[in-house]
Amino acid sequence: MTTFPGSPRIAKGALISVDLFNPVSSVTIFQYNPESLSRSITPNLTQSGDRFQGPPEETISVTLEINAIDQLERAQNRNAEAARLGIYPQLSALEMMVYPKSAAVLANAVLSRLGTIEMVPPKVPLTVFVWGIKRVVPVRITSLSIEEQAYDVNLNPIRAQVSLGLTVLTYNDLSRWNLIGKGLFMAHQIAKEVMATSSSIGNITRLGELDPNAVGFASNIVSRP
């Protein structure tokens, strides 16, 4: 498929699991950017409702399409990955973000039988949702639903829709040792504050163009304690 030479390069969304033991297996770049995503934001207020207890809870729902048709058409021989495995590797990369690593599970089981340690649940690695440079946030995968829609002759899936439910993790949700996650969320919030300020200044200016008295009225509201 050819593209117009002057067309802008499109950024790709991604999910990245920060796994120090196997970082290569924990990066999923979206094959096709979804046309939409749904976000729900719930304010985190005190019981009286007049003070913030922290940042709001934000959840993200997004549906991804994964398709091996393009790769199968470009495959030069039967040993190409798409011809041999379909989209199993892409689905596996997503699924492994909600699995404990087998090495950690087996190591804990062996050490537990030797009586050296108690069974310790494997720690969930930090997962990062990337949607452009202005939205790079730590998240927790709360749901993962896969609808396999087509198969090759060996029953390898070659087309699927993946529905993801994500909860954005704030500095209140992350441990004090998780400096990467805390830094990502704070950078995300500060970027929002900058863009909100820019938008508000522009709105006040446009309001003044419609009604010169409105600028003074808006300034008085903002300056009130």
Q: Work out the burial of residue 42: count CB atoms within 10 Å of its CB; fewer than 13 is exposed, 13-18 middle, 19 or more buried.
A: exposed
Same domain, 25 and 85: yes
Give the pLDDT of residue 219: 54
**Whether pLDDT at 170 is above 60:** yes
Together in a domain, 26 and 131: yes
Q: Residue 80 domain-assigned?
A: yes
Residues 191 and 154 in one domain: no
Residues 216 and 134 occupy one common structural domain = no
Domain of residue 219: give its range: 174-225
114 pLDDT tier (thresholds 50, 70, 90): confident
Would you give the DSSP letter of residue 122?
Answer: P
Last residue of a domain, one of 147, 173, 199: 173
Q: Considering the entire predicted model, what is its pTM?
A: 0.78
Q: One-letter amino acid identity for 219?
A: S
Number of domains in the chain: 2
137 and 200 part of one domain? no
The verdict on residue 2 lying in a domain is: no
Q: Which of 135, 142, 178 is nearest to 59 (CA)?
A: 142
Span 164-188, average pLDDT: 92
- Residue at 8 is within a domain: no
Please say if the pLDDT value at position 167 is more than 90: yes
- The pLDDT of 156-179, averaged and rounded, is 93
- Only one residue has tokens 């900058």, namely 194
What is the token pair recorded at 37?
């995503």
Say if residue 134 is in the same domain as residue 183: no
Flag whether 51 is in a domain: yes
pLDDT in tens, 19-34: 766 666 578 999 999 9
Residue 96 falls inside a structural domain: yes
Judge if 135 and 196 occupy the same domain. no
Type of residue found at 131: W
Asked if residue 212 has pLDDT above 60, the reply is no
Read off the pLDDT band of 143 (50, 70, 90): very high
In this prediction, residue 76 carries a pLDDT of 57
CA distance 31 to 33: 7
